[in-house]
Chain A
Amino acid sequence: MYVQRSEKNPVVKLGPDIKAKIGMQLRQIYGEIVDQGVPDRFVELLKRLDDANCEGR
């Protein structure tokens, strides 16, 4: 949990602000993909699977 820094700042414990900042950046990168929604290929794939399933009964 410690970050080695220069002699001016020998050891810095990660505070909640840093955790929050990292979390924010992480969610932004992740969110960019999530916001793309569900590509058509997956909608079609599941529909095909579902249809095949119904016919199989």
Chain B
Amino acid sequence: MGLRKNVREAMLEAVPSLRAFAISLCGNVDRADDLVQEALLRAWANMGSFQPGTNMSAWLFTILRNLFRSEYRKRRREVEDVDGSYAESLTSLPEQNSRLEIVEFRNALKLLPSEQRESLILVGASGFSYEEAAQICGCAVGTIKSRVNRARSRLAEILSIDSASDFGPDRETRAVANSDIVRNDRS
């Protein structure tokens, strides 16, 4: 019982990050939540294969990613954020960075190949080490490193970032220049 309770708590603890990852994979909040639910059910049913003392979060991410790859991916890109539900889920965002900047960034992220995007998110946002990310994606550590590097370069290219100071008052101007990239969200 005590052990089971710990497992349950560890799973709950992983849910927020798991959701964020799932949304980045399928670009749709409702579907992402279904994916998280499936992953939790599968994890629960296969608890025997979880090794106590290892990273529960990484284990859940692996299950979720495999589920996404095997089932959801068949439905191809129709799951992209055509209905804007992802953007809608974020309407309560406080004014930290400018809204436009975040819209631009998210659109740029969508332009990355999926392997690069997921590698960058696992390492850069979920907080996994390269080794853990490699385990989750079932590939070599070097592959993850290379994907992350390529993802960053491509993002910098799309967003025309030359230096951090580029994120200054001049952003509106460049956003207009890049309007072919952000057009979809600026109407």
> Smallest CB–CB gap between B132 and chain A, Å?
16
Chain A residues touching B, range: 35 or more
Footprint of B on A, CB under 8 Å?
1-5, 9, 12, 14-15, 17-23, 25-39, 41-43, 45-47, 49-50, 53-54
Contact between chains at A46 and B125 (CB < 8 Å): no
Shortest 3 CB-CB distances between A and B: which pairs?
Answer: A30-B125, A33-B20, A17-B164
Residues of chain B from 86 to 117 with CB closer than 8 A to chain A in the complex: 89-90, 93, 96-97, 101-102, 105-106, 109
Known: A1-B153, A22-B156, A53-B4. A42 touches B15 (CB 8 A): yes
Residues of A within 8 A of B5 (CB): 50
Complex Cα–Cα for A21 and B157 (A): 13
Please, which residue of chain A has its CB at the minimum distance from the CB of B97? A28
Residues of chain B from 136 to 186 with CB closer than 8 A to chain A in the complex: 149, 152-153, 155-157, 161-164, 167
Complex Cα–Cα for A4 and B163 (A): 14
Contact between chains at A43 and B152 (CB < 8 Å): no
Complex Cα–Cα for A34 and B105 (A): 18
Interface size on B, residues (CB 8 A): 45
Complex Cα–Cα for A37 and B92 (A): 14
Q: Does B69 contact A (CB under 8 A)?
A: no
B16, B40, B89 pick with most chain A CB within 10 angstroms: B16
Known: A26-B125, A39-B33. A3 touches B40 (CB 8 A): no
Contact between chains at B164 and A34 (CB < 8 Å): no
Residues of B within 8 A of A2 (CB): 153
Residues of A within 8 A of B79 (CB): none
Complex Cα–Cα for A15 and B167 (A): 15
> Smallest CB–CB gap between B2 and chain A, Å?
12
Residues of B within 8 A of A9 (CB): 162
Extra A-B contacts (4), CB below 8 Å, given A46-B12, A46-B40: A1-B149, A34-B20, A39-B15, A45-B37
Contact between chains at B152 and A30 (CB < 8 Å): no
Contact between chains at A5 and B152 (CB < 8 Å): no
Q: Does B66 contact A (CB under 8 A)?
A: no
